[in-house]
Amino acid sequence: MDSAKSQACTKRTDTIDPERWVEEHGDCLYRYALLRVRRPEVAEDLVQEAFCAGVRTFGSFRGESSERSWLCGILKNKICDYFRKLGRETCFTDLEFLEDELSHKFVPQGFWNHDLGPLEWKPEAEVVMHRNEFWETFKNCLARLPRRVADVFMLREMEEMETAQICDALSISPNNLWVMLHRARMALRECLEMNWFKGHSPGGSV
């Protein structure tokens, strides 16, 4: 029993091969970091930090997820830390974004204008996620958001940071955060619908 255990342990430490990590996952992690922090030198540093943290904490890797998503999880934490250090007050011009832009979607009584309300998205999310062109569209839609609004959205939805932590990290009030997240979601939803689902849904069902 004990020997089986120790054998398993040896096997685990044997499988750690950080140099292979760099070859196999380096580019993927780098692209993710680059999307998030936009500066190549910062992205490189973050990836390196993530790898090093991976070496140090490899013992806690249970193999429940793939090696890549485990490393990606570490990288996400590093990205959160980066934004924490960066934290500064949001530029208020960002918040003016979309202030009234989508108001034409609603009638004065506050209901949806039925001709402009959300469409049925077809094909389903699971299906479109396999299409490279979809991700092109997704990227372009993200890029249309004001930078800080995009940062907040991605911290929340990609790094899965808690809202209270985002407020702390970026020193923004909870209220501003709600507004930013709401507008980011609204704008992204709209952009995906207009630039992807509308063109791809058979018959453009309303």
CB 57 within 8 A of CB 17: no
Q: What is the DSSP annotation of 87-105?
A: --PPPTHHHHTTTTTTGGG
Q: Yes or no: say if 152 and 181 are a contact pair by the CB < 8 Å rule.
A: yes
Angle between helices 18-37 and 67-86 (to 10 degrees): 40
Only one of the segments 4-12, 29-37, 82-90, 93-101 lies at the binding site for other proteins (rule: CB under 8 A); that segment is 29-37
Provide the minimum distance between the beta carbon of 4 and other proteins in the complex, in angstroms, as a whole number: 26
- Per CB under 8 A, contacts with other proteins among 131-190 are 132, 135-136, 138-139, 153-154, 156-158, 160, 163, 178, 181-182, 185-186, 188-189
Positions 60 through 79 that interact with other proteins (CB under 8 A): 69, 72
Dihedral sign, CA of 129, 145, 160, 180? negative
Which of the ranges 2-10, 81-89, 91-99, 108-116 carries the binding residues for other proteins, by CB under 8 A? Answer: 108-116
Bridge partners of residue 106, in order along the sequence: 112
Number of residues that bind other proteins (CB under 8 A): 60
Beta carbon of residue 67, minimum distance to other proteins (angstroms, whole number): 13
Q: At its nearest, how many Å lie between other proteins and the CB of residue 86?
A: 20
CB nearer to other proteins: pick between 2 and 73: 73
Q: How far is the CB of 151 from other proteins (least distance, A)?
A: 13
Mark the segment that binds other proteins (CB under 8 A) among 2-10, 47-55, 83-91, 92-100: 47-55
Q: Find out whether 149 and 184 touch, Cβ atoms under 8 Å.
A: yes
Pick left, alpha or beta for residue 110 (phi over 0 → left; psi -120 to 50 → alpha; otherwise beta): left
The full DSSP string for 43-55 is HHHHHHHHHHHHH
Between the CA atoms of 115, 118, 124 and 125, what dihedral angle is there, to the nearest 10 degrees?
150
Q: Which residues bind other proteins (CB under 8 A)?
A: 18-19, 21-23, 26-28, 30-32, 34-35, 40, 44, 47-48, 51-52, 55-56, 69, 72, 106-112, 114, 117-121, 125, 129, 132, 135-136, 138-139, 153-154, 156-158, 160, 163, 178, 181-182, 185-186, 188-189, 192-193, 206
